Structure 1
């Protein structure tokens, strides 16, 4: 058997080392690419997480706002339906003559107490009256003009008659005050 030449052996070792170095460089490049892919995936997941966190916070704030509004304004339909009861009780008290008040003092007192209790319940639930006076300036945010009339001695836009009180529910109009307005030109 012939012995391999020393040069061939050295060539084989050099070739093996070169292959090993090429493999390790390729592995390093693959590891770098894999590391970059993992970093990109981490950044994408972190972005999704932050967005999900922001969405959850926005949903919490929205539901809190909805809850507050439901608490404050949920009974507005019932409150609006109770306003004619208030109006009718005020009219009943206003239409009673002095003679009727003397004859039916207990009945009148009962109506007054019931009206007072209704006003207390309104107040407890954030319902406040809008009570314009004759001579006040018309405010379209709180008043509804039922008619206009030229009344001597008044200025245009002044309230000349109050037909019905208005009501606010917290910061919202439940019903505007119904008024008559002067249309005098000067």
Structure 2
């Protein structure tokens, strides 16, 4: 070579034969194999798309079902509590229906007994659901569980302790539902 490039036409002239040109066609067995492979790939793609769509639909159904269950759980969370508390309401209705116009001692005693049983029933329902009564008379004042409405001096109760419970408080497990309203003892003015 002398550093000069030759074109294909020139090489035909020099060698006397034309170089092989690709015709763009493959032999029949290769074409058949490629067509078969293409069909298999298309079938696999269709199958994969079908699997994907089914999985997506199942995921959507599971999500919708879970959302409905959560909504239902929120709506009916107090169902068990409500059915238990109805019995207490019935007992109170019976007590209210007692005729006290004659005001005889026996009727009053029976009514008091009925109210005591109703309170016991209510306490049992509260216990089933983790509700505890806060009745802190004589205990050390705890601002996380008690709400002081006033302070008084008392020789019988140490300063900082609850003298009187004006309204009982309630706990749901460890959480305060309502603090107890209390009167707290303060140190005498001379101390």
TM-score, normalized by length of structure 1? Answer: 0.47
Which has the higher Rg, Structure 1 or Structure 2? 2
Q: Relative contact order: is structure 1 or structure 2 higher (C-alpha 8 Å, sep ≥ 6)?
A: 1
Q: Which is richer in helix?
A: 1
